[in-house]
Amino acid sequence: MLSLKFMDKMSMKLRKLYDNHTFQRGKDVYGRPFKSYSKEYGERKRANSFDGQSAEFANTTSPVLTGDLRGDSTEFATPTSFGLRFASHGSKFKNLKKNGRVLSDTKQPLPKTIIKIIEKDVNKEIEKQFPNKTTKIVLGK
């Protein structure tokens, strides 16, 4: 079993990686840039005319309007797992997916680039904690 300290460190790293990939770089779970908004919505977002709008993201197609969804992500760690939660605004994932903005999917919960980074770090930690032993790790379902 990996240490809780390591799992906690990984959960914080996951949150930063996900935030950078999805909100800062504006890419969906498959690594594709988010498509353009409708003309009317895009004009209003670029004009920063929504109440409570986050001006930092006015000129992007990232799924950030007020910043509530982005700020809602919290990391969690247990002795056997780690991850992200979107407790208050998680329901927005479904609506964003309907509009072609897939932030997570049952087939691919995280971007492959993030999964590769996690696998690399976990494998290093396993090698450090359990040298000369074979351990199989299955990510996903």
Residue 51 lies in a domain: no
Q: How many CA atoms lie within 13 A of 12 on its CB side?
A: 5
DSSP state of 55: G
Contacts 24+ apart (CB under 8 A), 12-17: 12/75, 13/117, 13/121, 14/75, 14/82, 14/83, 14/84, 14/110, 14/114, 14/118, 15/73, 15/74, 15/75, 15/84, 17/114, 17/117
pLDDT tens for the 141 residues of the chain, in order: 789 999 999 999 999 999 999 999 999 999 999 999 999 999 999 999 999 999 999 999 999 999 999 999 999 999 899 999 998 998 999 999 998 999 999 999 999 999 999 999 999 998 888 887 676 777 776
pLDDT at 1: 76
**Please, are residues 91 and 78 in contact by the beta-carbon 8 Å criterion?**
no
Residue 123 lies in a domain: yes
pLDDT at 130: 80
The one-letter code for the residue type at 83 is: G
Residue 43 lies in a domain: no
Residue 85 lies in a domain: yes
Residue 86 lies in a domain: yes
- Give the total number of structural domains in the chain: 1
**Please, are residues 21 and 104 in contact by the beta-carbon 8 Å criterion?**
no
pLDDT at 141: 62
Output Rg (C-alpha) for the chain, integer angstroms: 17
Residue 90 lies in a domain: yes
Domain ranges, residue 88: 4-33+74-129
Q: How many CB atoms lie within 10 A of CB 59?
A: 11
Residue 87 lies in a domain: yes
Residue 52 lies in a domain: no
